[in-house]
Structure 1
Amino acid sequence: MGRYAFLRQPRWLALGFLVLLVLPSFILLSRWQLSRLDDRRYFNDLVTTHSAAAPVPVDSVMRAGDPLDAVGDDQRWFPVTATGRYDAGSTVLVRKRPLEGKNGFWVVTPLVTSSGSVLVVNRGWIAADGSASAAQAVPAPPTGEITLTGRLQPSEAAPDVQPGDLPAGQITDLSVPLVAGGASAYPGYVTLVESSPADSADLRPIPLPDLSDGPHLSYAVQWVFFAGVAVVGFVLLIRRESEYAAAEAALATDGTPTGPPQPTGSID
C-alpha cells in the first residue's frame, strides 16, 4: 500500500467520494432515460394503433354526463363520428398552442347533437395575430347540420378561475366544462379530422404528434459514457500519481529516478 499511501490524503479521499457519488447518479439517469423511452414508445404505439381504427359513433365510446376521467388511454385518439349543429356563439380560443414553431390558438366550438348533449370540438389551429391581448379573427363554423369525424381526447385540467386579464373568448386550457358550461356534455373533446359540410379553409388541421423515439436512447448512452469517463479518469489519475510517488521515493533513497522518463537536454 506504500505506493498508494497518497490515497489517504484528504483531497484524494474527497475525489474518490465524489466519483462514488456521481457514478450511481449517472447510472440512474441513464435508466431514467430508458424508462422515458419506454413511455414514449408506449405513447407512439397508442397513437398509431388507435388513430388508424375505423371511426365509430361517439356514443359507443363515451356518454354525455360521464365524469371527465371516463376518457383515458383506452379511448384516446380513437376516431369517432357525431352529428349536430355548432353553437357558434360559444366559440373560444385556447391560448399558447404553437404549431411548427409559430404561436397560435386552437379554435374550439361546442357541437349540440340531436339529443341535446354537447360535444366539444377542436376545429383546428390559427396563427396568433398581433400582441397577446389583441383580438383575433376567428373563422366561423359551418351552419346547419354537421356530420364530423374527430379523434377523441381527454378534457384538459384548467384553473377553477381563469386569469382576469385574458381577452374575451380566450381560455388557458381545453377544459370541457369551460367550453360547455353547465350543459350536459361528453367528458372528452374531439380534434376535427373532417366534416360535412367542410370547415373553414383558414383553419389548420391539428396534426398527429411526433412519433419518433426522441433523444432518450442517445441520452441514456451518454450518461453511461459519462460514468465510464469518471471511472477511467479517476484510475488514470491514481496511476499517474503513484508513478510520481514512486519516482520521488527512489530519488529520496539513492538519487536514481525510477518513474517516467524525465526530459533531458544540453546547452551548447
Structure 2
Amino acid sequence: MRKFSFLLSRRWVLFFVVVILLSWLAWVLGEWQFHRLEDRKDRNEVIERNVHADPVPVEDVLAPDEPVPNSAQWKKVRATGTYDVADTIIVRYRTRDGASGVDVLVPLVPREGPALLVDRGWMSTGNSGTSSAADVPAPPSGEVTITGWVRQDATGDSTKVSAQSTRAISSTRIAEALDIGAYRGFVDLETETPEPAESLERAELPDTGNGPHFFYGLQWWFFGVLAIVGFIWMAVDEYRGKTHARSRRKPARKPARKTSQKPARKPVR
C-alpha cells in the first residue's frame, strides 16, 4: 500500500473528490433522463388512447370553471353551435415547415351553455407575418357540428389578448377579453359539418415517439463511469512513473572483485 501513498496527497485527494462529484452528477442526470422517458411514455399512452377514441359530447369532458386535466388532453369531443365570427381571435407567430402563419380561433356558441373556443386551423401569411380576422376564410354559417381534440390552456405573458389577437391560447384570458362565458381549454378542429367553402390547414397531431431520453440517460451514465476509469488509469500511470523514476535513481551494483589465489608453493625437499 505504501506504493500508492501518493494518493493521500492534497492534489490527488481533491482530484478524487472532483471525480466522485462528477460521477454522482452524471448518475443523477441519467436518472432524470430516464424519469423523463417514463413521463413521456405515460403521456404518449394517454394521447394514443384519446386521439383514436370515438368523440364524446364536449360537456362530458370540459367545464367552464375547471381547468382541463392531463387525462383529457387530446380527447376527441363533438359540439354543435354557431360560429361567432365577430369574436374571431388571431393566434400569431405560428410556423409550419418554415413558413410563417397564424391560427384562427373562433367561439362556437351553442343554443344553451358556454361557448367553446375552436382552433379552426392554420393559415399562411406569406411575408407579412400578420393577419386580421377580415383576411381569414369564413367558417360555415348557421348551425355547425364539429369534432376536435381537447387542448389545455397556455400560461404566461404570451396569452395576453390585444386587438383580438394573441400569441398563445388561454380560454380564461380570451373569454375575459370577449366578455363571454366559455369552457376552459379549447379544441383543435378535426371536422366541421357542413364544410366551409375554403378550409384552413388542420392541427398537427402530437409526436408520440419516446424521444432521445433513453440515449441521453445512457450517455450521462457513461460519462460517470468514464470519470472513474480515467481516475484509476491516471493513478496507475502515476504509480508506474514513480516506480520507473526510482529504478533509474538507484545506483547500479559494482561487480564483486575476484581475489586471485596464488598457487601453493611446493614443499622443498
Distance 2:223 2:71 in 1: 39
Structure 2 length-normalised TM: 0.84
Amino acid aligned to 1:170: S
* 1:201 Cα offset (Å): 4.2
Question: Which of 190-199 and 102-111 deviates more?
Answer: 102-111
RMSD, aligned CA:
2.2
Q: Please give the TM-score of this superposition, normalised by the length of structure 1.
A: 0.85
Quick one: distance in 2 between partners of 1:209 and 1:161? Answer: 21
User: Cα 1:196–1:255, aligned 2, differ >3 Å: closer, same or farther?
Assistant: farther
Which of the two has higher C-alpha Rg? 2
Of 123, 126, 131, 1:135 maps to 131
Alignment match, 1:7: 7
Quick one: which of 187, 205, 210 aligns to 2:207? 210
Tell me the CA shift for residue 255 of structure 1.
5.0
What SS class does the counterpart of residue 185 from structure 1 fall into?
coil
2:174 is the alignment partner of 1:179: yes
For structure 2, which runs of at least 5 residues remain unmatched after alignment? 254-269
Q: 2:91 matched to 1:94?
A: yes
Aligned 1:13-32 pairs, distance under 5 A: 13-32=13-32
Q: Residue 30 of structure 2 contacts residue 218 of structure 2 at CA under 8 Å; is this kept in 1? A: yes
Q: How do residues 161-240 of structure 1 correspond to structure 2 at under 5 angstroms?
A: 162=160, 168-180=163-175, 181-199=178-196, 201-240=198-237
CA distance 1:10–1:131, shift in 2 (3 Å): farther
Contact 1:126 1:202 in 2 (8 A): no
User: Structure 1: any 5+ residue segments left out of the alignment?
Assistant: 257-268
CA contact (8 A) 2:158 2:168 kept: no
Equivalent of 2:103, from 87, 101, 106?
A: 106
Partner of 1:66: 65
Aligned partners of 1:35 and 1:101: how far apart in 2? 32
Post-superposition Cα deviations, 1:36-56, rounded to whole Å, max 9, x if no partner, equal 001111111010001111111
Separation in 1 of the partners of 2:4 and 2:251? 20
State the one-letter code of the partner of 1:41.
K
The residue matched to 1:146 in structure 2 has which SS? strand
Write the deviation string for residues 69-116 of structure 1: whole angstroms up to 9, x where unpaired: 2x2023221111111111111111222333344443221000111115
Q: State the 1:188 CA deviation.
A: 2.1
Aligned residues of 2:146 and 2:193 also touching (Cα < 8 A): yes
State the identity as a percent.
33
Q: Report the more deviating stretch, 190-199 or 34-43.
A: 190-199
* In structure 1, C-alpha distance between the alignment counterparts of 2:156 and 2:126, rounded to whole Å: 24
The one-letter code of the counterpart of 2:72 is Q
In structure 1, C-alpha distance between the alignment counterparts of 2:100 and 2:183, rounded to whole Å: 29
CA deviation profile, 1:220-255 (whole Å, cap 9, x unmatched): 111111111111111111111101101111222235
Secondary structure at 2:250's aligned position in 1?
helix
Equivalenced residue count is: 249
